[in-house]
Structure 1
Amino acid sequence: MEAFRTLLACPACAGDLAADWACLGCGARHAAPDGVPALRLAADERTETVRRFYEHAPFPGYPPRDSLDWLRARAERSPFARLLDRSIAGDARILEMGCGTGQMSLYLARADRVVIGADLTRASLALGAAAARRFGVSGVRFVETDLAAPGLREGAFDLVYCSGVLHHTPDPRASFRHLVRLARPGGMIVLGLYNAYARLPLRLRRAVGRLSGFRWIPFDPVLRDRAAEPERRAAWLRDQYLHPEEHRHTHAEVLAWFRANDVDYVRAYPSTVLGDDPEDLFTPAADNWGPEAWLAQLGWMRSLGPEGGLFVMVGRRSGSSIPAAIGPT
């Protein structure tokens, strides 16, 4: 547990935490109900609205008969998940910010990796922690916290992974600034966001769905695949069609975030470079030509649009050279 606690901090003053979760700096005392530290300060009303939204229906949830083999097989249906796992060293310190119910954190917690799954919704974290116990995964711990005042050690992580989160915050650009500080100099940042172009098909489906009170939504492959899993189907419906806070972003916009926060651009996934199929997610793309990136995003309406239009941007926090812990094993 000590290895995990050194990656956490008091959300009020960033001080070290004792074994009983008391802050050694300001003296604040934090609880850890069911083994999940509560390191979250009071948030603004928009953030609280999002937290309550996920408390009501944790996303994405687990099926009735799950297992570690099921989780890994499900994750590895995604070429991106396989590529991410292959690109991370076996002894990396990983933060998944906005982990939801923890599937990716559990998937990445193999070899000697230390994984922190952080989220602001305790109901989601409870499901992740229960799954970790059920599956016998010891390399991950879950923590309740918020990006606005994270109970996490600045500069402590080799990899900060944050997917499907910033576009649900009141100010995604400001949230990104907080996120960057958690990566060590030279550490990697993997950011998944709704793309402004690739999200258009779902927005059209949402407009049609509103006409029927969301009883009928055409051409959604995820809802179709989850027809026999009503709870997971309902979670997808709420997350994608009824969310109270949503923003959409372009490749050029996120590049501007990178530049403003001293993050070196590495690549996008899917790639914005024609014919680029990386073997390592952390190897820089051959180039970054604006018109080619714009055309790639138009193509994402077809390739990414059916499942919500999420794209990934990868960057490296500026600083010292990368030690072996970042590269693949």
Structure 2
Amino acid sequence: MPVCGSDKVLQPPPTLRPYQQEAVRRVVAHFRTTHDPAVVVLPTGSGKSLVIAELARLARGRVLVLAHVRELVEQNHAKYRAYGLEADIFSAGLGRKESSRQVVFGSVQSVVRHLPAFQDDAFTLLVIDECHRVSLEADSSYRQVIDHLRGCNPRLKVLGLTATPYRLGQGFIYYRHYHGMVRGSEDCFFRDCVFEQPLRLMVKQGYLAEPRRVDAAVERYDFSQLMPSMAGLFREEELNRVVAGSRATPGIIAEVVERARERRGVMIFAATVAHAEEIVAYLPSAEAGLITGATPSAERERIITAFKTRELKYLVNVAVLTTGFDAPHVDLIAIL
């Protein structure tokens, strides 16, 4: 598939790993024979953004790449620009609403509110990052975008990428696996999983570090009396009764600091906001930052930048930096 040269700048493209090259090859081969929506399964840390960038680079027509958080939009856009190519961003959270270039990286929330900006039959490929979020409901945001683009071009190709193709309450998000197994139901939106890279193989090949688990926090907090909701989640007030003000917290954080002595970047996931605020109080004040859902945008960006540039060693958060956060220097994670 040739590259549109209008936005091209001479620059060596990133080198894809063998499994990334195979993923791209499988996707191209699939869409040469069918318009059925396809899925690629790649573990966290395997470089989905580079696979997306390569497919966008190869595409004949226009490409829209969707994600549900601005961090992913920004990250995917940056990987595409690493090829020396320019692309638009359509995301209110990033303060940009551009849609004229061949490739557009957008947040689904912004795109679904401005569908007339994408009234173009030249869109031939729609890529959905974290595609396990595509609902079976016809009026969901993703489905509205898909239906709109298909209305403009019935031959639209739809590709999803995810690390988690199995969802509680739904099962597998695709119908068939390329190894021949039928895994999902007939009403799955995605028909075929065309490539999957196992997590164990990533570790074996040296692309991911072997995880080493320490259950220190589990031993010191007593969660045995808590009952999850039907959705499998715990209520914040119930978690607070266990962790907030617990006599165990100072000792746990002291152990984290000790284990982090020779580490470069430490991420700590707290159970609740009150828990996170308490954790930060026990960390070296000049080396720690806290991000919650209530952290203002500018402050959030400042803290993340300081962490990525290693001005801060510890970054505490509450269910915020879980998707699309790219900090390769992190070498210790504490889940409390």
TM-score, length-normalised on structure 2? 0.32
Q: Which has the higher strand share?
A: 2
TM-score, length-normalised on structure 1? 0.32
Please identify the structure whose Cα radius of gyration is greater. 2
Higher relative contact order (CA 8 A, sep 6+): 1
